């Protein structure tokens, strides 16, 4: 039996599809779309129900059009039904600015790589354009610090419509004091914990949005909220100072730690649920480190 050789009908360079530094399937689909676009295909149909891929395709759609792509369709399958989504129309409706922050919005609120925070609906209502314009685009120390601060405030907005709180520690304090949520386990994460989540999201966004750049893959995930164990990346845990549950005093409202302070009366040290959290308190809890 004679062997039959198969030849590609596309005459363009295949280097873009043969990159050894790209392992994620999500990334490879984006590379395939770009390769098809620069090879002259103006109408592309992708079979994928992966939200991460859809988000990235919207982010890079402007780049695809610069290679003369006209329409980009995604077939999304759910159970026994399927529908075709015209990403070119979505991009045209929402615009480049909004689509440029979709990777940040998606990774911060939950994806294939990160944990869920709030819902996608609340994320869209939380004014993401005001907070996420530069998220994951620059990894200088100052830019990372600013991005983490803005992202924490944004995620607070995702969880609550109130503009009074900018950090998760402030939100936790309010939830514990004034809401029906009285169990520590049911409270939002601490600021220390959410910042590790934000760093992980920032790493993913930077990698995703720089896939066509020479600096792709330059970041070390260990510097962005992960630990390595047995050749696997696992999320870092936040270690914070926190009192045992039985030491919590729910109604401590004294901001000055005077003799009228409930904590003083009960002979316990202050913690993040006390009103004095906004000042430097010499009676803060300083032992019993736990994972959170």
Query: What pLDDT score does 248 carry?
Result: 63
Write down the pLDDT at residue 1: 52
Reference 34, options 75, 78, 64; nearest CA is 64
| Rounded Cα distance, 95 and 91, in Å | 5
Distance of alpha carbon 108 from alpha carbon 202, whole angstroms: 8
Rounded to an integer, what distance in angstroms lies between the CA atom of residue 178 and that of residue 285?
22
What percent of the residues of the chain are helix, what percent strand, and what percent coil, each to the nearest 5?
Answer: 45, 10, 45
CA–CA separation, 178 and 262 (whole Å): 17
Beta bridge partner(s), residue 74: 46, 85
The two three-digit tokens of residue 97, written as one number: 């600015």
H or E, element range at 153: helix 141-159
Closest Cα to residue 166, out of 179, 187, 176, 152?
152
- Round to whole Å and give the CA distance between 224 and 124: 25
pLDDT tens for the chain, 292 residues long, are 556 555 555 554 556 666 656 667 788 889 999 999 999 999 999 998 899 999 999 999 999 999 999 999 999 888 888 899 999 999 999 999 999 999 999 999 999 899 999 999 999 999 999 999 999 999 999 999 999 999 999 999 999 987 888 998 888 877 877 776 656 777 888 888 999 999 999 999 999 999 888 767 788 999 999 898 888 888 898 766 555 555 566 566 667 777 677 777 777 777 666 766 555 566 665 444 333 3
Q: What's the pTM?
A: 0.80
Closest by Cα among 94, 21, 35 to 59: 94
Nearest Cα neighbor of 253 from 160, 178, 167 is: 178
């Amino acid at each position: 039996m004679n062997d039959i050789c198969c030849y590609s009908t596309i005459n363009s360079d295949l280097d873009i599809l043969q990159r050894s530094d790209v392992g994620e399937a999500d990334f490879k689909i984006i590379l395939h779309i770009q390769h098809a676009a620069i090879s002259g295909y103006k109408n592309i149909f992708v079979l994928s129900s992966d939200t991460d891929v859809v988000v990235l395709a919207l982010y890079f759609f402007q780049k695809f059009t610069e290679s003369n792509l006209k329409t980009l369709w995604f077939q999304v399958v759910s159970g026994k039904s399927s529908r075709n989504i015209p990403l070119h129309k979505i991009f045209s409706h929402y615009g480049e600015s909004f689509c440029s922050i979709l990777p940040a919005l998606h990774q911060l609120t939950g994806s294939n790589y990160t944990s869920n925070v709030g819902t996608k609906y609340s994320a869209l209502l939380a004014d993401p354009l005001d907070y996420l314009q530069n998220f994951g685009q620059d990894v200088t120390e100052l830019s990372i610090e600013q991005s983490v601060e803005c992202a924490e405030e944004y995620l607070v907005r995702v969880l609550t419509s109130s503009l009074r709180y900018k950090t998760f520690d402030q939100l936790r304090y309010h939830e514990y004091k004034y809401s029906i949520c009285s169990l520590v386990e049911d409270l939002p994460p601490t600021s220390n914990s959410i910042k590790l989540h934000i760093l992980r999201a920032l790493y993913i966004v930077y990698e995703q949005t720089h896939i066509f750049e020479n600096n792709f893959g330059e970041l070390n995930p260990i510097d962005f909220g992960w630990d390595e164990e047995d050749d696997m990346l696992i999320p870092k845990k936040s270690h914070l100072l926190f009192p045992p549950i039985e030491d919590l005093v729910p109604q401590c409202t004294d901001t000055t730690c005077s003799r009228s302070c409930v904590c003083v009366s009960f002979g316990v040290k202050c913690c993040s649920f006390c009103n004095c959290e906004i000042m430097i308190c010499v009676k803060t809890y300083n032992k019993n480190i736990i994972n959170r």
